[in-house]
Structure 1
Amino acid sequence: MTTTGPTTDLLTLAPQTGTGFLLRTGQQLTVVDPTGGQVSDLYCFAAQDHDERLSSGRTIDYANSIYVTTGHTLYSNRSRPMLTIVEDTCGRHDFLLTPCSQDTFDLLYPEFEGAYHPSCLENLTSGLAQFGVVADQVGTTLNIFMNVWPEPGGELHIDPPTSVAGDRLVFRAEMDLHVGLTACSAEKSNGGVCKPIAYRVDDAD
Structure 2
Amino acid sequence: MEHAIECRHIERQSGTGFRLKRGQILRVIDPMGEQVADLMAFNAHDLDEVLSSGRSIDYANTIYLTTGHVLYSNRSTPMFTILEDQVGRHDFLLTPCSPETFQIIYGNYAPHPSCFMNLVENLTPFGIAPDRIPTTFNIFMNVRIAESGELTIGPPISKAGQYIELQAEMDLIVGVTACSAELSNNHSFKPIDIEIRGQGA
* Equivalence for 2:110: 115
> How far is the alpha carbon of 1:43 from its aligned partner?
0.4
What amino acid is aligned across from residue 172 of structure 2 in structure 1? L
Displaced runs of 4+ in structure 1, greater than 6 A?
none
* Equivalence for 2:9: 12
TM-score by length of 1: 0.94
Match of 1:199 among 188, 194, 201: 194
- 1:68-79 paired onto structure 2 within 5 Å: 68-79=65-76
Matched, 1:176 2:171: yes
1:28 and 1:204 in contact (8 A); partners too: no
Distance, in Å, in 1 between the alignment partners of 2:18 and 2:40 is: 11
> How far is the alpha carbon of 1:9 from its aligned partner?
6.3
- 1:7-86 paired onto structure 2 within 5 Å: 7-8=4-5, 10-86=7-83
* CA distance 1:120–1:78, change in 2 (3 Å): same
Match of 1:144 among 133, 139, 163: 139
1:37 and 1:145 in contact (8 A); partners too: yes
Please, what is the CA RMSD of the aligned residues? Answer: 1.2
* Equivalence for 1:133: 128
What amino acid is aligned across from residue 138 of structure 1 in structure 2? I
Match of 1:165 among 160, 165, 171: 160
Distance, in Å, in 2 between the alignment partners of 1:86 and 1:45 is: 19
2:35 and 2:158 in contact (8 A); partners too: yes
> How far is the alpha carbon of 1:204 from its aligned partner?
4.9
1:120 and 1:185 in contact (8 A); partners too: yes
2:6 and 2:197 in contact (8 A); partners too: no
* CA distance 1:9–1:44, change in 2 (3 Å): closer
SS in 2 for 1:192: coil
> How far is the alpha carbon of 1:8 from its aligned partner?
4.7
Distance, in Å, in 1 between the alignment partners of 2:183 and 2:36 is: 10
Aligned length: 198
2:32 and 2:191 in contact (8 A); partners too: yes
TM-score by length of 2: 0.96
* Equivalence for 2:184: 189
Percent identity between matched residues is 56
What amino acid is aligned across from residue 129 of structure 2 in structure 1? V
What amino acid is aligned across from residue 88 of structure 1 in structure 2? D
